[in-house]
Amino acid sequence: MPKQNVSPLEHPQAVLQEIERLAQHIVVARKRRGETQAQWARKLGVSQPTMARIERGDPSVAMASYVMCLWLINPSLGLADLVAPAKDHAALEREVAKVRQQRRPRQANAFAPVQTVAETALPKLSQPAPNRVSRAHGNAAAAGLAALLAVSGKKTG
């Protein structure tokens, strides 16, 4: 196993707390099922001491072991959905700002009608780029972008 550059104890406190919270939930799920650490360890393909480390929230345990625990608890819940592009609000906000910056009129005329970002950008963004984004993802991204525009419009308007 390659040596880690950063000790798990040097991770941000918020990350360590989330791992501990995850561990607590894993313990509760295992106990509610009436199973031992050894039984879960066998299901996960890890040793019982590793299962104990998972339940303590040890950040140095392989991510795959934690993901496998999540899958044992709820196989229909997709962990990757937590970081799906449509839910990446920071990236969506950045994209909105970029589109707004590109759409600013070169010469500001206070009396000239200006199209909103939603009027100019969304029809183009709702069409996925060929070979890059699926139609469903493109529509979801456009819907997310529209929601962000609506929220930011309420803040400034």
Distance CA(16)–CA(134), nearest Å, equals 35
What pLDDT, on the 0 to 100 scale, is given for residue 153? 56
Task: Encode pLDDT of 1-56 as tens digits.
Answer: 566 577 777 889 999 999 999 999 999 999 999 999 999 999 999 999 999 999 99
Domain boundary among 27, 50, 82: 82
Task: Encode pLDDT of 110-152 as tens digits.
Answer: 555 555 544 444 444 444 444 444 445 555 665 666 666 665 5
Q: 107 is in which domain, residue-wise?
A: 84-156
Query: Is position 2 within any domain?
Result: no
Q: Are residues 142 and 129 in the same domain?
A: yes
Question: Alpha-carbon Rg of the chain, whole angstroms?
Answer: 23
Q: Which residues contact 11 (CB under 8 A, 6 or more apart)?
A: 59
Query: Is position 120 within any domain?
Result: yes
Q: Are residues 112 and 65 in the same domain?
A: no
